[in-house]
Chains A and B, each alone.
Chain A
């Protein structure tokens, strides 16, 4: 028995089994959720790399699995990463029942989580790019569900991600012989360019971002939110691993400039475009683009890793607020979809979340409206909500680096806030003076209210979770060889 078998092979095998029995929705849901919680719990307590004693039996629990000459390593330093992945997965799976996600959501999300774990465990870690590509292929049915028209956004997503990973692979070969010596700069310059292009595509940085708003409009909001949380997280962790591993990369001043430019461009353009959207799904897509930009800025603030390790914790500290906010937002959108267009059953899913269809919906769906407002403004960094403290810290540190960059970031968030105010106006204002009523189901209301309370309480008491998450930076850097 070994840790890669437990955290990589087991989720993959169970996902295949659950795909076979996908019609037994309750069984699939319970099995997937329990497995995710179990794996998260084991990540916290199981002695990795030592023997596990059960009574008189002692079972060796190795931390390495060798496949075709290459190793997958999950040692005790990877606990925090495993917790991050599987607790996050459990969070998304728990809400999937209320979100009425498709019956393939649980199996495929388990498979994606297993593949992301494999990507972070493989050595040499450059091969993670191929495993991430396999995760992309597995995730396509989540975005372009059976029985619905083929999602153009999913096709574009597949195109950009497939174009990105060969750059990373080729860079790996190019720098394999130049780790120790930086005397020969030419291959390093080429590696730098190829690496930049690869991550530009994988992270969907402008102009390779168009697929995100498209799938947010066409696909199920919950599946979109799950995927757009997990995939950029895996890619940014992969990128951090590169920076930590190669001295020539983090000693390049151009890297910091690139991170600043890419980050501020994403935040500024996506934030301003979010203000002009008329579809709640597309709005979520643009906010996710802003989040990707914020991650890049947070990584820049934490550079170089050895000197600013404390500040790199800001990158990890934004993960929990992001997951909570996206989850609540997605649930609210699902509630809107399920309770809108009731007089017109033939409405296409991409039409159900348009502003004109949801005008005045606050009177019918007050809980979903309030939750959406909380989630949106939390991601926009509004005070008193969970997203504010960490974003304020990032803005402060960004201003110390460059006022121009900080101004661009702030302008992007002003665009987000304008979009939020427009959304509230659309949902609340209506010429129809119908009485207020709660149309959400009991389960929807409970989860949405609980989520909104968590967003508020954690915003008022950030000291409860921020230090623990920020410490992950130290653990992550220690686990990189």
Chain B
């Protein structure tokens, strides 16, 4: 949503206007098929790994572990397929949210949960900054 409301990339930065290129690529059928299959492989791997992790973490239910492993896997897959700041931040937030599901079940410290929340918020802020910074006033 943030990116859809942004101005066009400044002149001379067309090579960095990846969102436009990305949306064009996304419309291509083969890209969609590849991504769906890759995500399916990640989900299958997550389903196979989840019981092993369940043995290490008896405090968490199998559904929680499965969900978090899927999020981590899909997030990492997403990071491997893009270098655009917006999509990288989404990938990081996805993977981090998967980790936070597991960690919330084993760590009870309020400070840690607060710090993790601040990291999540900070990632969002930095993501918005990275998208907007080319159009901001220089600070040299």
A binds B: yes
Q: Are B133 and A127 in contact (CB under 8 A)?
A: no
| Bound Cα distance A455, B129 (Å) | 39
- Which residues of A, 118-149, contact B by the 8 Å Cβ criterion? 127, 130-131, 133-134, 137-138, 140-141, 144-149
Q: Are A146 and B136 in contact (CB under 8 A)?
A: yes
- A154: CB under 8 A from chain B? yes
- A103: CB under 8 A from chain B? yes
| Bound Cα distance A154, B134 (Å) | 14
Q: Which residues of A contact B13 (CB under 8 A)?
A: 149
Q: Are A159 and B92 in contact (CB under 8 A)?
A: yes
Q: Which residues of B contact A400 (CB under 8 A)?
A: none
- A378: CB under 8 A from chain B? no
Residue among B13, B110, B122 with the most chain A CB within 10 A?
B122
Known: A162-B123, A166-B99. A154 touches B115 (CB 8 A): no
Known: A140-B126, A150-B130. A130 touches B103 (CB 8 A): no
- Which residues of B, 99-140, contact A by the 8 Å Cβ criterion? 99, 102-103, 106-107, 109-112, 114-116, 118-119, 122-123, 125-126, 129-131, 133-134, 136-140
Q: Which residues of A contact B95 (CB under 8 A)?
A: 162-163
Q: Are A145 and B138 in contact (CB under 8 A)?
A: yes
- A67: CB under 8 A from chain B? yes
- Please encode chain A, from 350 to 394, with 1 for each CB lying within 8 Å of some chain B CB and 0 for all others: 000000000000000000000000000000000000000000000
- B37: CB under 8 A from chain A? no
Q: Which residues of B contact A150 (CB under 8 A)?
A: 16, 85, 130-131, 133-134
- The minimal Cβ–Cβ distance linking B108 to chain A, given in whole angstroms, is 10
| Bound Cα distance A341, B136 (Å) | 24
- A439: CB under 8 A from chain B? no
The prevalent SS among residues of A at the interface is: helix
| Bound Cα distance A158, B137 (Å) | 23
Known: A68-B111, A146-B139, A150-B16. A137 touches B119 (CB 8 A): yes
- A465: CB under 8 A from chain B? no
| Bound Cα distance A103, B39 (Å) | 44
User: Chain A: which residue is nearest B119 at the CB level?
Assistant: A133
Known: A102-B139, A146-B137, A166-B99. A159 touches B115 (CB 8 A): no
- The minimal Cβ–Cβ distance linking B24 to chain A, given in whole angstroms, is 20
Q: Are B122 and A134 in contact (CB under 8 A)?
A: yes
* Chain A: interface residue total (CB-CB under 8 A): 39
User: A130-B119, A131-B115, A146-B136 known; 13 other A-B pairs, CB under 8 Å?
Assistant: A22-B139, A67-B111, A130-B112, A140-B126, A140-B129, A141-B133, A146-B139, A147-B134, A148-B133, A158-B88, A158-B126, A166-B99, A170-B103
- Please encode chain A, from 222 to 237, with 1 for each CB lying within 8 Å of some chain B CB and 0 for all others: 0000000000000000
Residue among B13, B118, B126, B129 with the most chain A CB within 10 A?
B126
| Bound Cα distance A103, B99 (Å) | 36
- A343: CB under 8 A from chain B? no
- B83: CB under 8 A from chain A? yes
Residues of A within 8 A of B (CB): 22, 67-70, 100, 102-104, 127, 130-131, 133-134, 137-138, 140-141, 144-150, 152, 154-156, 158-159, 162-163, 166, 169-170, 173, 187, 190
Q: Are A147 and B138 in contact (CB under 8 A)?
A: yes
Q: Are A152 and B83 in contact (CB under 8 A)?
A: yes
- The minimal Cβ–Cβ distance linking B77 to chain A, given in whole angstroms, is 13
Q: Are B96 and A102 in contact (CB under 8 A)?
A: no
User: Chain A: which residue is nearest B72 at the CB level?
Assistant: A166
Q: Which residues of B contact A148 (CB under 8 A)?
A: 133-134, 138
- B43: CB under 8 A from chain A? no
Q: Are A155 and B130 in contact (CB under 8 A)?
A: yes
The prevalent SS among residues of B at the interface is: helix
| Bound Cα distance A309, B99 (Å) | 37
User: Chain B: which residue is nearest A190 at the CB level?
Assistant: B56
Q: Are B134 and A127 in contact (CB under 8 A)?
A: no
- Which residues of B, 52-109, contact A by the 8 Å Cβ criterion? 56, 76, 79, 83, 85, 88, 92, 95-96, 99, 102-103, 106-107, 109
**Complex partner residue of A147 from B79, B85, B123, B139, CB under 8 angstroms:** B139
Q: Which residues of B contact A170 (CB under 8 A)?
A: 99, 102-103
Q: Are A147 and B119 in contact (CB under 8 A)?
A: no
Q: Are B134 and A104 in contact (CB under 8 A)?
A: no
**Complex partner residue of A130 from B115, B123, B140, CB under 8 angstroms:** B115
Interchain residue pairs with CB less than 8 A apart (12): A70-B112, A131-B115, A137-B119, A138-B122, A140-B129, A145-B139, A145-B140, A146-B133, A148-B138, A155-B130, A162-B96, A173-B103
Q: Which residues of B contact A133 (CB under 8 A)?
A: 119
Q: Which residues of A contact B140 (CB under 8 A)?
A: 100, 102-103, 145, 147
Q: Are A127 and B129 in contact (CB under 8 A)?
A: no
Q: Are B109 and A68 in contact (CB under 8 A)?
A: yes
| Bound Cα distance A156, B16 (Å) | 15
Known: A68-B111, A130-B116, A163-B95. A147 touches B126 (CB 8 A): no
Known: A102-B140, A104-B139, A166-B103. A144 touches B130 (CB 8 A): yes
User: Chain A: which residue is nearest B88 at the CB level?
Assistant: A155
User: Chain B: which residue is nearest A71 at the CB level?
Assistant: B111
| Bound Cα distance A147, B12 (Å) | 13
Q: Which residues of B contact A67 (CB under 8 A)?
A: 111
Q: Which residues of B contact A152 (CB under 8 A)?
A: 83
- The minimal Cβ–Cβ distance linking A162 to chain B, given in whole angstroms, is 5
| Bound Cα distance A149, B109 (Å) | 40
Q: Which residues of A contact B88 (CB under 8 A)?
A: 155, 158-159
Q: Which residues of A contact B83 (CB under 8 A)?
A: 152, 155-156
Q: Which residues of B contact A156 (CB under 8 A)?
A: 83
Q: Which residues of A contact B99 (CB under 8 A)?
A: 166, 170
